[in-house]
Amino acid sequence: MTRIIIVLLVSFHTSALARGHEQTTEELIANLRSPIPKTRREAARKLGERRQREAAEALAHTLRTDTRTDVRREAARALGLIKDEATLPAVLSALSDAHRDVRRAAILALVSFYIETNIEFITAERRGWHILNPFLSTYEATIIEPGTNVDDRIVQGLLRVAQTDGDLSVRRAAVRALGVLRATDVIPQLGRLFMGQSALRVEILKTFMKLGDPRAGTYIIPFLNDSDADVRKSALIAVGLLRVADAVPKLIEVFERPRDEETARLALEALARLGDRAAEPIFLQNLTHPSPERRRFAAEGLARLGDTQYVERLSLARLQERDRSVQLALAFALYRLGRREFLEAIFQELDGGHHAQAAAYLLEVEPSDLYPLLRRGSVRARRSVVEALGRIGTRDAIEHLRPLLSAEDPELVNAANLAIHRIEQRAASPRTRPRRVGNTPKKS
């Protein structure tokens, strides 16, 4: 019996040692004043993970006064997680810290006051143009919801860093952060910075795309045929995504005298998104082009042009087409020109290899046409329909979405809940109502 007790005691002691001493918040706060830098750094990190507001003041003091860069950096990150408004002045002051790592951490912290998901890209070093996403959504996880009130001190602080910081990586991080925080009010300042700072142009273009405001078009149009390939490509994508109508003449010029084939393709894609009558001959010429991408964009352009005289021609083209992406674009065009039965082809592709393309088309579907699709199909397809309604639906859509709050799939439930929230937010704030895309079909 004694032996068993000894074994149990030894086991308990070993287990306790393995777990280590569970430090209290009070101990961690005290450790912020330790003479050992590693102890201070780890204390700041753990206090951030615990998100306890009682540690906020001590962390703010550490951020302002600690002599070690790594400790100040961890203190900034921790304050971003704790989100105590009283510490905002300390984090804003860190935007002027002597070390760039602390300034970058302060930028992340300021964004973390409003959003945490997938924001590490703000300070990541990115190379190349491939990171641009033609299906970029302003509702993605890395942007705050419309209607979120952001403290103007944060916006102005980030703008100042974007304009004046001595380190290019910090300036880029500030520009990205302004996009995540949906800072549309600073578009003119970013535009002037865009015109004067070539090193920041691609980054500012990505932020313009994220903000989704056509007012940025004034600053972008002069760069549609820029000698810098990254700037040129980004600008062409941006005017299409933002649907900058004033860009059409320049886009046609670029398409007809492109620097290379990729420039021509991107100019055609931008024209297709705009669906302007001036580009009608270009769409018709490219409907039979050897390149599937060109045929697809030609079909999309005719779809948004809205002229029903092309229904028969597009129907024949779809019968003859072998490329799935182009078939899908032609189905979208026929739907837009009044053949509503072709919505089924778009819905079916939500489970296919061109899911992103089909999901993008849903944003240009009449919301009421989507209601029946909520009751059938795979969870993946229904989620796409729900997400589309969240972005384009009116209050009428809410009664059709509510039954999904009792669905078996938790992701579908969450998507429906978010969609309802977005619709209600739009209804309460006219500034965030969705913009109609393309033209209304008209008879020839």
> In this structure, are residues 437 and 407 in contact, taking their beta carbons and an 8 Å threshold?
no
* Distance separating alpha carbons of residues 412 and 329, to the nearest angstrom: 27
From first to last of its 444 residues, what are the pLDDT tens digits of the chain?
Answer: 555 444 444 444 444 344 456 889 999 999 999 999 999 999 999 999 999 899 999 999 999 999 999 999 999 999 999 999 999 999 999 999 999 999 999 999 999 999 887 788 888 875 544 444 444 444 455 889 888 899 999 999 999 999 999 999 999 999 999 999 999 999 999 999 999 888 899 999 999 999 999 999 999 999 999 999 999 999 999 999 999 999 999 999 999 999 999 999 999 999 999 999 999 999 999 999 999 999 999 999 999 999 999 999 999 999 999 999 999 999 999 999 999 999 999 999 999 999 999 999 999 999 999 999 999 999 999 999 999 999 999 999 999 999 999 999 999 999 999 999 999 998 887 554 444 445 555 544
Q: Is residue 366 part of a domain?
A: yes
pTM, to two decimals: 0.85
Q: Are residues 293 and 422 in the same domain?
A: yes
* Distance separating alpha carbons of residues 307 and 299, to the nearest angstrom: 12
Q: Are residues 400 and 414 in the same domain?
A: yes
Residue 248, C-beta contacts closer than 8 angstroms, at least 6 positions apart? 271, 274, 276, 278, 279
Q: Is residue 35 part of a domain?
A: yes
Q: What is the CATH number of the domain that holds 245?
A: 1.25.10.10
Q: Are residues 290 and 418 in the same domain?
A: yes
Q: Are residues 245 and 300 in the same domain?
A: no
Q: What is the pLDDT of residue 130?
A: 43
Position 282, amino acid = I
Q: At what angle do helices 261-274 and 248-256 cross, to 10 degrees?
A: 150
Q: Are residues 285 and 247 in the same domain?
A: no
Q: Read out DSSP for 11-50?
A: HHHHHHHHH-----HHHHHHHTT-SSHHHHHHHHHHHHHH
Residue 23, C-beta contacts closer than 8 angstroms, at least 6 positions apart? 31, 46
Q: Is residue 12 part of a domain?
A: no
Q: Is residue 376 part of a domain?
A: yes
Q: Which position has the token pair 């078939």?
A: 327
Tokens at residue 140, please? 């993605």
Residue 307, C-beta contacts closer than 8 angstroms, at least 6 positions apart? 280, 337, 441, 442, 444
Q: Which position has the token pair 């994508």?
A: 237
Least Cα distance to 244 among 280, 215, 278, 208 occurs for 215
Q: Is residue 439 part of a domain?
A: yes
Least Cα distance to 270 among 229, 306, 241 occurs for 241
Q: Are residues 262 and 291 in the same domain?
A: no
Q: Is residue 412 part of a domain?
A: yes
* Distance separating alpha carbons of residues 195 and 108, to the nearest angstrom: 26
Least Cα distance to 437 among 242, 281, 290 occurs for 242
- DSSP state for residue 214 in the 8-state scheme: G
Tokens at residue 397, please? 């859509």
Q: Are residues 249 and 342 in the same domain?
A: no
Q: Is residue 14 part of a domain?
A: no
Out of 235, 257, 274, pick the residue that ends a domain.
274
Least Cα distance to 374 among 355, 342, 352, 398 occurs for 398
Long-range contacts of 88-91 (CB under 8 A, 24+ apart): 88/113, 88/151, 88/153, 88/154, 90/60, 90/61, 90/63, 90/64, 91/60, 91/63
* Distance separating alpha carbons of residues 41 and 68, to the nearest angstrom: 9
